[in-house]
């Protein structure tokens, strides 16, 4: 049974505080400071940004604890860090270090191809990626306090984030039209816990905040996912792989707040230089996709 | 509630503004999100939500939002800040020092309980407002380290002042909007008719 107990209230509570904001990937304390000065609501500490992981290959792991600590010392906003899917020991370490959120992330090389981390016992909240409603509810069932679309990290291409966001919101809408006796069959079809399927059918939304990630590179990208129902955005390679990280970070922050005011988004778009190059996701070998990691 | 009056504004740069809106819906009070300085014209009071004060400050510099909120408060309009909102309203901010509106004579220390793993739900007392304990949600919360002479302490939790008032300004270091308890919001709304 999914329980909105005191711990979950604190975990979801921090996610509520981040809404309408931008969470930025950073690999050094210096980048973290740039992100904070640009108005980021949180930073995500990782070893390499997804675009570099994609290019360089190798095993991508939790970031160095030394660097995570430097980042925590450098900024006053919440610091998140990524753990590999299923790598509960990395998660334990990150909790011991005192990070504010753990992203159990497909961007890193999975440690367990069958099981995700059992997230309930932790005091630190978790965010997990999802491509559709079933995947989102499985993660929430395991104790995630925030969901983000997976998109296709490091691609600079918004198409997958849009696909995943639309999938989640339309599946939620569809659930609200079902009769009670149809919910168990739906739960089976989605591969999602029955009580969560029922909760969503009654409330018309996920029980935890739903953010967007994976391919956001421009102010207009941020506006797009916010208009499609995302409640905040994660920007990974999009900032520090662009020609002007500082200006781009500021512009994406402002465009996220004023996402439904085209005039403001236009001003933000005029302030930035060249975006990261980006890749056509259709041309990627399916083996190169990050979004298919985890289930 | 609020007969024929302008709606209550909720600052919606970023943060848990939707939770404040949900609370006002519960007590049948009209509200309006405020993202631009000019929108303060259309509201009777202002709630500044929880979130990241450093982010909100970036927006205060644009369009003179900070100056507009000061003018709004100077006209005697009620302003209520929770957590980050309380930090923005303070006269002095510690850990580290940062820009502020200076509308309530307190010194407030950011992230003073620690990081997210130190966040907690506690019970506190607000004797002038509630005759029972109030559920208080502290998330990476600040601590009020100094209270000026003209500031009234309305709520305490484990000895620390957590709800303070100076004239038309109300500030809480916790998040009443994350609970089902309407007490604090109802108290703020009463200030609209003062």
Measure the CA–CA gap between A264 and A6, rounded to whole angstroms: 39
Give Cα separations from B185 to A120, B54, B82, B106 (angstroms). 32, 25, 11, 21
- pLDDT confidence of residue A288: 87
Cα(A19)–Cα(B139) distance, integer angstroms:
14
Helix-, strand-, coil-residue percentages of chain B, each rounded to 5: 30, 30, 40
E strand residue ranges, A116-211: 126-130, 146-149, 210-211
pLDDT of residue A1: 52
High-pLDDT (> 90) share of chain A, % = 84
If you average pLDDT over every residue of chain A, what do you get?
95
In the structure encoding, which two tokens stand for residue B38, read together?
A: 């000019």
Is B114 part of a structural domain of the chain?
yes
pLDDT tens sequence across A127-179 = 999 999 999 999 999 999 999 999 999 888 999 999 999 999 999 999 999 99
Rounded CA-CA distance A124/B101 in Å is: 32
pLDDT at A190: 97
- List of chain B residues whose C-beta atoms are within 8 Å of the C-beta of residue A77: 52, 54-55
A75-100 mean pLDDT: 98
Cα–Cα nearest to A12, from A118, A168, A143: A143
List Cα–Cα distances, B30 to A34, A155, B8, B33, B82, in angstroms.
39, 43, 6, 11, 19
Query: CB within 8 A of A293, min separation 6: which ones?
Result: A85, A106, A110
Q: Which of A151, A284, A273, A283 is nearest to A218 (CA)?
A: A273
The CATH number of whichever domain residue B184 belongs to comes to 3.40.50.880
Residues of chain B below pLDDT 50: 1-2
ipTM of the complex: 0.96
pLDDT recorded at residue B124? 97
Contact A17/B16, CB-based, under 8 Å?
Answer: yes
Closest CA to B14 of A148, A77, A49: A77
Alpha-carbon distance values, A18 to A2, A36, B49 (Å)? 23, 13, 11
Q: How many domains does chain B have?
A: 1
B20, B83, B157, B165: the active-site residue: B83
pLDDT at position A284, please? 86
* Angle CA B72–B74–B79, to nearest 5: 55
Take residue B152 and report the two structure tokens written for it. 């009234």
Q: Which residues of A touch B18 (CB under 8 A)?
A: 16, 19
User: Please, are residues A80 and A101 in contact by the beta-carbon 8 Å criterion?
Assistant: yes
Distance CA(A162)–CA(A134), nearest Å, equals: 17
Q: What pLDDT does A2 receive?
A: 66
A33 classed as catalytic: no
State the residue range of the domain holding B113.
Answer: 8-190
Question: Does the residue B1 lie in any domain?
Answer: no
Contact B50 A38 (CB under 8 A): no
In a domain, B3, yes or no: no
> What residues are paired with A7 via a beta bridge?
none
Establish if B2 belongs to a structural domain. no
- A257 interface with B at CB cutoff 8 Å: yes
Contact B182, B23 (CB under 8 A): yes
Residue B46 inside a domain? The answer is yes
Verify whether the Cβ–Cβ distance A18 to B110 is below 8 Å. no
Check residues A276 and A139 and name the one with the higher pLDDT: A139
Residues of A in contact with B84 (CB under 8 A): 17
Residue pair A8/A145 in contact by the 8 Å Cβ criterion = yes
3-class secondary structure per residue, B9-24: EEECCCCCHHHHHHHH
Average pLDDT over residues A180-192: 98
Compare CB distances from A21 to B52, B111, B119 and report the shortest one's residue.
B52
Give the minimum alpha-carbon distance from A101 to chain B in angstroms, rounded to a whole number.
8
Question: For residue A144, with 0-12 CB atoms within 10 Å meaning exposed, 13-18 middle and 19 or more buried, which class applies?
Answer: buried
Mutation site, B57, B96, B117, B177, interface A, largest A CB count within 10 A: B117
CA angle A136, A156, A274 (to 5 degrees): 145
* B13, part of any domain: yes
Are A17 and B35 inside 8 Å of each other by CB?
no
CB B81 within 8 A of CB B48: yes
């Amino acid at each position: 049974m999914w329980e909105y107990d005191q711990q979950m209230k604190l975990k979801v509570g921090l996610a509520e505080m981040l809404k309408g904001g931008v969470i930025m990937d950073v690999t050094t304390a210096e980048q973290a400071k740039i992100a904070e000065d640009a108005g980021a609501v949180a930073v995500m500490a990782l070893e390499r940004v997804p675009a570099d992981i994609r290019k360089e290959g190798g095993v991508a792991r939790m970031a160095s604890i030394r660097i995570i600590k430097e980042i925590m010392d450098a900024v006053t906003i919440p610091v998140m860090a990524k753990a590999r899917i299923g790598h509960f020991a990395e998660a334990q370490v990150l909790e011991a270090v005192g990070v504010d959120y753990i992203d159990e992330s497909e961007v890193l090389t999975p440690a367990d191809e069958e099981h995700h981390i059992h997230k309930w016992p932790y005091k630190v909240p978790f965010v997990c990626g999802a491509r559709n409603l079933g995947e989102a509810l499985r993660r929430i069932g395991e104790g995630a306090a925030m969901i983000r679309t997976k998109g296709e990290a490091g691609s600079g291409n918004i198409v997958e984030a849009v696909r995943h966001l639309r999938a989640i919101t339309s599946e939620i809408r569809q659930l609200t039209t079902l009769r009670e006796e149809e919910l168990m069959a739906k739960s089976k079809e989605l591969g999602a816990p029955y009580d969560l399927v029922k909760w969503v059918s009654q409330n018309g939304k996920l029980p935890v905040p739903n953010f967007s990630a994976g391919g956001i590179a421009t102010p207009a990208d941020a506006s797009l996912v916010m208009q499609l129902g995302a409640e905040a955005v994660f920007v990974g390679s999009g900032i520090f792989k662009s020609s002007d990280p500082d200006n781009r970070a500021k512009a994406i922050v402002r465009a996220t707040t004023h996402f439904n005011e085209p005039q403001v988004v236009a001003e933000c778009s005029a302030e930035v230089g060249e975006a990261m190059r980006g890749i056509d996701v259709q041309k990627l070998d399916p083996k190169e996709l990050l979004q298919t990691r985890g289930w | 509630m609020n007969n024929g009056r302008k709606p209550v504004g909720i600052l919606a740069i970023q943060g848990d503004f939707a939770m404040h809106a949900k609370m006002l819906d519960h007590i049948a009070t009209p509200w309006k999100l405020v993202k631009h300085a000019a929108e303060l014209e259309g509201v009777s009071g202002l709630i500044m939500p929880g979130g990241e004060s450093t982010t909100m400050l970036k927006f205060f510099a644009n369009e003179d939002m900070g100056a507009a909120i000061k003018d709004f408060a100077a006209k005697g309009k009620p302003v209520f800040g929770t957590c980050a909102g309380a930090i923005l309203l303070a006269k002095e901010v510690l850990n580290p020092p940062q820009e502020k509106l200076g509308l309530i004579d307190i010194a407030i220390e950011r992230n003073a309980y620690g990081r997210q793993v130190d966040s907690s739900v506690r019970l506190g007392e607000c004797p002038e407002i509630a005759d029972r304990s109030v559920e208080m949600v502290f998330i990476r919360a600040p601590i009020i380290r100094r209270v000026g002479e003209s500031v009234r302490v309305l709520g305490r939790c484990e000895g620390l002042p957590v709800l303070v008032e100076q004239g038309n300004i109300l500030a809480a270091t916790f998040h009443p909007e994350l609970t089902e308890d309407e007490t604090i919001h109802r108290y703020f709304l009463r200030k609209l008719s003062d």
